[in-house]
Structures are given as C-alpha cells and as structure tokens.
Amino acid sequence: MAEFGNPDVIQEEVDILMIGGGMACCGAAYEVMRWTEVAKAEAGVDLKIKLVDKAAMDRSGAVAQGLSAINTYIGDKQDPADYARMVSNDLMGITRDDLAYDVGRNVDDSVHLFEEWGLPIWKLDANGERHDGAAAIGEGLPTLKDGGQPVRSGKWQIMINGESYKWIVAEAAKKALGMDRIEERIFIVKLINDANDKNRIAGAVGFSTRNHTLHIYKAKAILLAAGGCVNIFRPRSVGEGTGRAWYPVWNSGSTYSMAAEAGAELTMMENRFVPCRFKDGYGPVGAWFLLFKAKATNGYGEDYLSKNKAMLDQYPPYGQAAVPASCLRNHVMLKEMKEGRGPIWMDTVTALGNLRNTLSAREVKHLEAEAWEDFLDMCIGQCGIWVGENIEPEKKNSELMPTEPYLLGSHSGCCGIWVSGPTDLGAPTAADPEIDGVPAHLPKGWSWGYRGMTTVKGLFTAGDGVGASGHKFSSGSHTEGRLAARAMVKYCLDNKDLKVELDTPVDALVEEIYRPVRTYLEFKDYSTAIDVNPNYITPKMLQFRLQKIMDEYVAGVATYYNTNDKMLEVAEQKLEMLKEDAMKMRAKDLHELLRAWENYHRILTAEAHMKHIQFREESRYPGFYYRTDKNFVDEENWKVFGNSIYDKTTKKWTNFKRRHVDLVDKSKLFKAAAPH
C-alpha cells in the first residue's frame, strides 16, 4: 500500500512525452495529433503520446489568470522580417533571426485558431471605431482570418478580452489530445538519458503532487516546455506580500535545469527580464504606454525618457533605434531613481484626459473600463492596490517600479536552450557556403534537422525554453509548440526502430526523488519544533537563502542591479555551499516535496545565470544588469552568443562563445531615429 515516502512506481512507455501544459505544450498538443494521423496513414506508425503538467492545464502556466493583449500578431501590414528586426533590437542585437522569423511567419495562424476557439478579439469597424470582442461578434464584424481589423495597442500587439484565454487554449489542446493522454499534477523532477548514448534522451521521472505515486516515462522524443524561472531573486514583495510576483511563481526553472542536467547546450542565460511594472501589484504597463499613450515621469514631473535620451548614445546602435530596447528604457528610469528623483509615476490622469479629446464618449467609457479590465484579466492584485490606495486612474497617478529579475525566453527576455532552426529557411553565404558537404542554409551549428530540438537527441523545447529569440509571448509560444510537435513526429518516424533505455535504475530514481522525505522521516523527532532541526532545512528557508545570495551578489534589487567580477566570485562560493546544504532539504508532505524539487531546479538555473554573467565580460543589457567592472557594450568582442554546457557528473559548467550572424538586414531600424 503506497504511503508517504513509499510510493507506488508507475512505468510507462510512449513515443512522445510533453512536459508542461502551458502555451507551448497546448500548441504542441493540438498539432501533434494532426501529424500523428498523417504518420498512421502514410507510414503505418501508431505513435503513443502523453502530456504531463505539474498543475491543472485550464489555469496553468504564465497565462493562468488571463491576458488582455496578444503581444505577437503580425497581420497584413508587416512581415516576419520586421518582427525579427524588432526582436533583435529589443534584445540588444544578439538573437537568432532564423527562429524569430520562423515564429513570425507562423504565429498568425495560432491567433486565428484562438479566435475560432472562442477568444474575443477587439475589432475596428469600417469607421475606425473600436469594439471589444463580444460586441464585435454581435455586430458581425469579420474574424481576423476573414480580414477583420484588430485593435492594435502597439505595432505588434492586439487587444483581447482574455480573462479565460488559457481555458480556451487548454480546452482545444485537451480536445485534440483526449484526457487519456493527459496527466495533471505530475511534477517532473529530471530527465533520463539513454544508457547506450548519453547524448540522447530516453525518459523522464516525476511524482504526483496528490497521490503517493512516482511516474517513470520512457520516451523517444520529449518536449520540455515547463516555462521560465521565478523567485531566484529576493522579490520586492516581502512579508505580507510574499508570493506576489509578476511572472508565475510556479514556473521554477524546471526547463533550464532539467535540460542542463541532460547535457543540453544553453544560450544567453545571462539575459534576464526586469520589467517595469506598477509598484507592488506588478500590473503590466504595455497597455498604458501603447494603448493609452501614457507617459512616465520622475517624482518632479519630468518625462525622463526624453530628458535622458542622450544617455543612450553610448550604446550604439541599439540606443538609437526608433524604439529603444526594454532594458534601455529601464536604464534611463534607474538614473532618476538612483539620483534621488523618484518616485516614478505612470501619468494615467493626463493619458485618460487626452483620450477624451480624440475619442467618442462611447470609446472613452470603453477604455476607462479597460483600464480596470487590463488588470482584472491578468493581474488582479493590482486592482486590489488601486482599491486599497483609493486610486481612480483618471484622478490619481500610480507608481512604477523595476521589479526583481526573471529568467524567461518568451517575453522580453531571451535566455534558454540552444535549438535547431527551421530546415527551410536561409541560403548559403560566403561565410557558410556548405556544411559537411551540403549547401548550408543557416550558419554552422544552427540547424540539425529538427526544429526546436536541443543538442541532446530527441529532446525538444519551445516557448520560454527556446533561447536567443524573445518576444514570442503567448501566441508565439503556442506556435513554437506546434513547430516542435511536427518535428518530434518526424524524429520518431526517422527513428522508428530506435529502442531507448534508461541510464538509471528505478530504485536509484526513487531514492533520489524521495531523499527530502527520507531526511524528514529520519530526523523529525530529534527536535520538538518541527521547523527547527540541525539535521534538515525547510524548502522555504532554503529559498530565502538562494534569493539573498542572488539579490546581493548577482545584481538584484539590493544593489540596483549592479554586480562585478569580485561579487560574482563570492556568489559562486555561496551557491556552491547552498548546493551542498540543499541535499539536506526536508519534505514533510507532498507539497514540500514539490517545493524542495522546485528549489533544486531554481538553484541550477540561478547558477547558470551567474556563470553566464561571469563569462560575458561586458554589460550587454544596461537597465537589466550592470557589471560595474565592465560597464560598456563591447560590439567587437561580445556580439556573440554566450553558451554553456553543464556536466552533471562533475557538476562543472563549460562556457563558450558562438558566432552571431544577422540574417535579416537590421539597418532599417536605425534609418529614421524618431523620438520615442
């Protein structure tokens, strides 16, 4: 009879395993069944598929609460190359144009599906008036696919009524896959390599967060899309606010850490996202800047972006782009804060006032409602702050603040895993005429046949997992999941006769995963206070230690995002000791076992971040972090990808550079350096 610490072991063999139930895996779930049908019809192969999510798909992942915009929709007035340009510019020039372009040329199809599945999308009528999603349907305005015009908040973003966005996308994924191919509340702890080829994936292991069961999956192909990483830095929200963060606290670095342990090459793990957000509630700012045309000011009412624009001249060419990169927008804000001209305000009063001069009364009312709905859709806590602080945005401005850092590859950040690019893009160039005797289409090392496959055979990723190509957001992550699904089916067909074998015995897996439980059971009676015990540390306490180290030494909010080589040395030593002590984490119940393993994932992700910052001898992202000993952007030596490989046996990282190539002409970005 299974009990706590003595689980039933359930073993299963599938062809394709999908880890995660977020946007990327929902895309993959939808797409994979279509290609599975093709595989059955054309090759007579019946592929076995499984999806596991640590939570419940309807509300799991970053889109859990809903969203109020789709931030990546290309439409008919721009092309994927423009999109690749924007992605590159916002991420200071070091992105993979092949991956961004590929998302750009496919993403609209996902958005059209969302609308078909029931997502209400704001529309413009023939007179250019805005209607929200339900009204647009009521008035018979055409769908996007049929030429309907979306309401653009920005060049790339379109407005939605998206409180139930995730439900809608998850429902389609579940319908496509069928519930018998889905297991919710399974937390995957580690990937398992193949016994006969250590650079091939063979399976994954996890445990149920509800029952005493340990699950071991053997799989030929695995899609690891478990989101980004939150809570490795001490958050600004402490005490009664603890747990409040901008990106979802339940995305704990599983993607990066498990891939690294499996031997996959990581890329740009030095990159992070420090979003400028409404203070304390973490409400997103995009709708305010783009849709409401609001300005941010310092405490003395000055528009600091215009005032400090010359500061950006030291970062050519990125500082001179028509829209400065997200990090540079932070950079000018931080100057005001550091020099004592805070607080920073979002001037909602002027913005809403101005709208009255240009819009009809109906539209003004609609937009005022949207000011609330924007937060109610995706960041309810911010409404609580407004209510609690008597803020009516048309009468009283709100404070802005740069948050603690987050690691992600799908929003305005680009850390992640190095993956194979699309097979049908690019052309031979003088630098890369051919590779291994065949005409090259992408630079050497960018493509090995299966879109989204990592450097470990059979291991794929998407969304936050794919590095060096940010700004995919929800729609682009869904798209990448779909692209990976198709490539996984191809991989399975190309490896029809492959038999994978787990390189670790089942007993060893059980022992390792349940170590925190065993530690607890062995020592729990040593002291009378359950949380105070010299033989173990609680996951909560361990997390505080990790956050303190990262905050104080690896450019968190405590140092205004500054670090240097010497501070990183200290961080390195402290993380080393933290890793040792992590072996003594306890788990008094299944919930703590989850917390313990989330922490292991966070620590390895944090270490990757630290090692990459150490390796990159410049400050590529001013406003996200500064290496004060190398406080410049060095285009000559560092316009390269910073990549790494982790060796789980020696526990050592190897960092190295990979050549960066611009595949899309970037000069367009800088021709007319218009004021922002």
Q: How many CB atoms lie within 10 A of CB 147?
A: 8
155 HSE (CA, 13 A, CB side): 12
SS3 content of the chain, % helix, strand, coil (to 5): 40, 20, 40
Question: Which of these ranges, 143-151, 243-251, 340-348, 519-527, lies near ligand SFD under the rule CB under 6 A?
Answer: 243-251
Which listed residue (119, 378, 554, 669) binds ligand SFD by CB under 6 A? 378
Verify binding: residue 286, ligand AMP, rule CB under 6 A. yes
Partner whose footprint covers residue 474, from ligand SFD, ligand AMP, none (CB < 5 to 8 Å by kind):
ligand SFD
Least Å from the CB of residue 470 to ligand AMP = 9
C-alpha span between 418 and 437 (Å, rounded): 23
CA proximity to 622, closest of 306, 321, 411, 315: 315
Verify binding: residue 71, ligand AMP, rule CB under 6 A. yes
Which listed residue (99, 221, 225, 608) binds ligand SFD by CB under 6 A? 225
Verify binding: residue 290, ligand AMP, rule CB under 6 A. yes
- The nearer residue to ligand AMP, 330 or 533, going by C-beta atoms, is 330
Question: Which of these ranges, 102-110, 225-233, 421-429, 506-514, lies near ligand SFD under the rule CB under 6 A?
Answer: 225-233
Helices (DSSP H) in 514-589: which residue ranges? 515-523, 539-553, 565-582
Verify binding: residue 188, ligand SFD, rule CB under 6 A. yes
Least Å from the CB of residue 475 to ligand AMP = 11
Question: Which of these ranges, 128-136, 209-217, 223-231, 337-345, lies near ligand SFD under the rule CB under 6 A?
Answer: 223-231
Partner whose footprint covers residue 285, from ligand AMP, ligand SFD, none (CB < 5 to 8 Å by kind):
ligand AMP
- CA dihedral (612, 618, 623, 628) positive or negative: positive
Nearest residue relative to ligand AMP (C-beta): 286
Which listed residue (14, 29, 69, 596) binds ligand SFD by CB under 6 A? 69
Question: Which of these ranges, 23-31, 88-96, 496-504, 645-653, lies near ligand SFD under the rule CB under 6 A?
Answer: 23-31
Least Å from the CB of residue 158 to ligand AMP = 11
CA proximity to 29, closest of 494, 670, 645, 477: 477
Point out which residues pair with 69 in neighbouring strands: 159
- The nearer residue to ligand SFD, 297 or 475, going by C-beta atoms, is 475
Instruction: List phi, psi (to 5°) of 648.
Output: -70, -20
Between strands 49-53 and 182-184, the pairing is parallel
Tally: H helices and E strands in the chain: 19, 24
CA proximity to 232, closest of 537, 600, 593: 600
Verify binding: residue 547, ligand AMP, rule CB under 6 A. no
Partner whose footprint covers residue 308, from ligand AMP, ligand SFD, none (CB < 5 to 8 Å by kind):
none
Which listed residue (16, 49, 70, 274) binds ligand SFD by CB under 6 A? 70
Which listed residue (7, 15, 18, 22) binds ligand SFD by CB under 6 A? 22
* DSSP state at residue 531: T
Verify binding: residue 157, ligand AMP, rule CB under 6 A. yes
DSSP string, 30-55: HHHHHHHHHHHHHH-----EEEEESS
Verify binding: residue 323, ligand AMP, rule CB under 6 A. yes
Question: Which of these ranges, 160-168, 257-265, 284-292, 524-532, lies near ligand AMP under the rule CB under 6 A?
Answer: 284-292
Verify binding: residue 285, ligand AMP, rule CB under 6 A. yes
**668: which residues sit within 8 A by CB, 6+ positions away?**
82, 85
Q: Are 315 and 295 in contact (CB under 8 A)?
A: no
Partner whose footprint covers residue 467, from ligand SFD, ligand AMP, none (CB < 5 to 8 Å by kind):
none
Q: Per-residue string for binding with ligand SFD, 461-490, x by CB under 6 A? A: --xx--------xxx-x-------------
Verify binding: residue 62, ligand SFD, rule CB under 6 A. yes
Q: Per-residue string for binding with ligand AMP, 324-363, x by CB under 6 A? A: --x--x----------------------------------
Verify binding: residue 24, ligand SFD, rule CB under 6 A. yes
Least Å from the CB of residue 299 to ligand AMP = 19
Verify binding: residue 251, ligand SFD, rule CB under 6 A. yes
C-alpha span between 81 and 100 (Å, rounded): 8
CA proximity to 298, closest of 351, 335, 328: 335
Distance (Å) of CA 11 to CA 7, 206, 223, 488, 551: 12, 11, 19, 22, 41
Helices (DSSP H) in 150-210: which residue ranges? 165-177
Going through 209-327 in order, the beta strands assigned E by DSSP cover 213-224, 266-267, 276-278, 296-297
Q: Are 64 and 249 in contact (CB under 8 A)?
A: no
Which listed residue (118, 286, 299, 381) binds ligand SFD by CB under 6 A? 286
Scanning residues 564 to 623, which ones bind ligand AMP (CB under 6 A)? none
Burial of 95 (0-12, 13-18, 19+ CB in 10 A): buried
Verify binding: residue 159, ligand SFD, rule CB under 6 A. no
**Positions that interact with ligand AMP (CB under 6 A):** 71, 154, 157, 275, 284-286, 289-290, 323, 326, 329, 412
